[in-house]
Amino acid sequence: MKSQAPLLRPRIFRPTPLNLNRLAGRLKRGEIIGVPSETVYGLAADALNPEACMRIFAAKKRPTTDPLIVHLASRYDIDTVAHVNEAALALAEAFWPGPLTLVLPKKNIVPLIVTAGRRTVAVRVPDHALFRKLIRLSKCPLAAPSANPFGYISPTSAVHVRDSLIGSGLRAILDGGDCSVGVESTIVDLSNPDKPRLLRPGGIEAEKIEMVLKRKLSRPSYKSISAAKSAPAPGMLSRHYSPRTKLILHTSLHPQDVMHMTVNEVCLLLSKPSAQVNKLLKPDTKKQLRWLSESGRMNDIAKNLFSTLRKLDEENWSVIHACLVPGLEGLAPAINDRLKRASAKA
């Protein structure tokens, strides 16, 4: 009988100067590398090398119809890959480096595999010094989607990337610690600057973007997206970021609700139950309670969302009950968007 080759587990590299130089060299030679960012970890390749970019799609099992974001080291590099306009320059100045991606008409230098055949390219400057350092050292813009298998929960640590991409062809990940934002960048389509569109809510609040642009962003509805011949952001697929465990969403969820659940269901609260409520609960039922933050701070909820869903997904619960964030302010739209897609049926 033929013995199977063991599945290669990607190696995590500490961010020493030597390792950064090595990984930059490997990127330059066409390899894919797991990279840290402030939002989620990315799976990076030389954006100007079509074969290297093809490896990203293969490792993630991502359809080649879903375009990649191109990452730059500085906002002053934007015109190397995109045709800029005033609105784009204003947003780049206000929010880069940071969790904002701009969709603009592409320059010819960007291979069609990166943009999935589109005439537009998505660009951003990440707010993570190690990621920017790697772009500078490799001397190429880096195309990078989130480093998760297509459709699964996005990774917010190097270990998440390693554990979900074993045997994918990925060999190396740069460790940059836990992601500080925890949800992906906000995507704004400025290819027609007279009609700016919000394609994905994310780490920068839409209201802040509207303040800089001095106009409202249009928000395409999910219905219009699925009806469109080609979706404006294919990542807006209704099911995405999903745990394997069934996820049920609630508009409100209280620690006491756990008493109405069976023993293999877990209740994911937005904040830690108060000492008073804690006293009312039986020790057994307390094991079924988890929370996304100590005090309900929105930034903490976003930061912990994907890592907590991953943890729960590994624990063999039959159902995860989670709660939507109230209101439409701040990061609420981004958090609720990820929760809704994570719970959507295929």
Residue 37 or 138: which CB sits closer to ligand TXA? 37
Both structure tokens of 98: 């940071």
Are the C-beta atoms of 335 and 186 separated by less than 8 Å? no
Of the pair 49, 288, the CB lying nearest ligand TXA is at: 49
Rule CB under 5 A: is residue 242 a binding residue for Mg ion? no
- Name the burial class of residue 252, with classes exposed (0-12), middle (13-18) and buried (19+) by CB atoms within 10 angstroms of its CB: exposed
DSSP string spanning 283-311?
Answer: HHHHTTEEES-SS--HHHHHHHHHHHHHH
- Write the single-letter amino acid at 185: S
Q: Do 317 and 222 form a contact (C-beta atoms < 8 A)?
A: no
SS (H, E, C) 54-102: HHHHHHHCCCCCCCCEEECCCHHHHHHCECCCHHHHHHHHHHCCCCEEE
Find the shortest distance in angstroms from Cβ 326 to ligand TXA: 24
C-beta closer to Mg ion: residue 101 or 146: 146
Structure tokens belonging to residue 304: 């912990």
Q: How far apart are the first and last CA of the chain?
A: 38
In whole angstroms, the minimum distance from the beta carbon of 145 to Mg ion comes to 5
One residue of 32, 110, 174, 199 binding ligand TXA per CB under 6 A = 199
Q: Which of 39, 49, 101, 146 binds Mg ion (CB under 5 A)?
A: 146
Residue 135 engages ligand TXA in binding (rule: CB under 6 A): no
Find the part of the chain contacting Mg ion (CB under 5 A) among 118-126, 144-152, 164-172, 256-264: 144-152
Q: What are phi and psi of 94, to 5 degrees?
A: -75, -35
Identify which range of 49-57, 85-93, 233-241, 257-265 contacts ligand TXA by CB under 6 A: 233-241
Closer residue to ligand TXA, CB minimum distance, 81 or 270: 81
Q: Which of these segments, 59-67, 91-99, 145-153, 306-314, binds Mg ion (CB under 5 A)?
A: 145-153
Instruction: Report if residue 97 touches ligand TXA, rule: CB under 6 A.
Output: no
Integer-rounded Cα Rg, in Å, for the chain is: 20
**CB of 126 or CB of 141, closer to ligand TXA:** 126
CB of 200 to Mg ion, least distance (A): 9
Minimum gap (Å) between residue 226 Cβ and ligand TXA: 14
Which residue in the set 121, 125, 165, 267 belongs to the binding site for ligand TXA (CB under 6 A)? Answer: 121
Say whether residue 103 binds ligand TXA (CB under 6 A). Answer: yes
Q: Give the tokens for residue 29.
A: 């030679």
Stretch that binds Mg ion, among 97-105, 109-117, 126-134, 141-149 (CB under 5 A): 141-149
292 binds, among ligand TXA, Mg ion, none (CB under 5 to 8 A by kind): none
CA–CA distance, 332 with 324 (Å, rounded to integer): 8
Give whole-number Cα distances, 149 to 66, 153, 219, 320, 323, in Å.
Answer: 13, 8, 27, 21, 25
Q: How far apart are CA 17 and CA 15, in angstroms?
A: 7
345 and 239 Cβ atoms separated by less than 8 Å: yes
Residue 144 within binding range of ligand TXA, rule CB under 6 A: yes
Candidates 189, 160, 193; CA nearest to 175 is 160
Whose tokens are 């006491």? That residue is 256
Residue from 32, 40, 165, 213 in contact with ligand TXA (CB under 6 A): 40
185 vs 288 by CB, closer to ligand TXA: 185
By the rule CB under 6 A, 190 interacts with ligand TXA? no
Contact 30, 143 (CB under 8 A): no
Binding positions for Mg ion, rule: CB under 5 A: 146
Binding positions for ligand TXA, rule: CB under 6 A: 37, 39-40, 42, 66-69, 99, 101, 103, 115, 118, 120-122, 124, 126, 144-146, 184-185, 187, 199, 232-235
